[in-house]
Amino acid sequence: MSDELFIVVGLSARPGKEDVLREDLARLVAPSRGEAGNLRYDLFEDINAPGRFVFVEHWESPEAQRQHHETGPHIEHFHAHGDANVESRDFIHMLRRVVP
């Protein structure tokens, strides 16, 4: 079985902060895609619920994702500045592929 890790994360913006959060989250995409071990890092917005954002991530290993989350300067910046615009973390699913 592979060590690959898939993650799906849903966040909802505080009312009135949808545009600011969208910009803050969008700034995470390019640097995250450039990190060692990243295979996919996409940001989506729910068509039926503007202000609800979903990340779909694919990492070579749990360690690569951990490095991203714990030491990425862009992630640290978001937690220090953009996190205040998040109303809720709706879900975090850490997944492994069953059938390749």
List pLDDT tens digits, range 8-66: 999 999 999 999 999 999 999 999 999 999 999 999 999 999 999 999 999 999 999 99
**Residue 14 belongs to some domain of the structure:** yes
Where residue 2 falls (left for φ over 0; alpha for ψ -120 to 50; beta otherwise) is beta
Rounded CA-CA distance 74/22 in Å is: 15
Strand order in the sheet with 5-13: 38-45, 52-59, 5-13, 86-95
Determine the structural domain holding residue 19 and report its residue range.
10-52
Q: Does residue 97 carry a pLDDT above 60?
A: yes
Q: What is the count of structural domains for the chain?
A: 1
Do the domain assignments include residue 46?
A: yes
In a domain, 82, yes or no: no
Residue 33 contacts residue 41 (beta carbons within 8 Å): yes
pTM of the model: 0.92
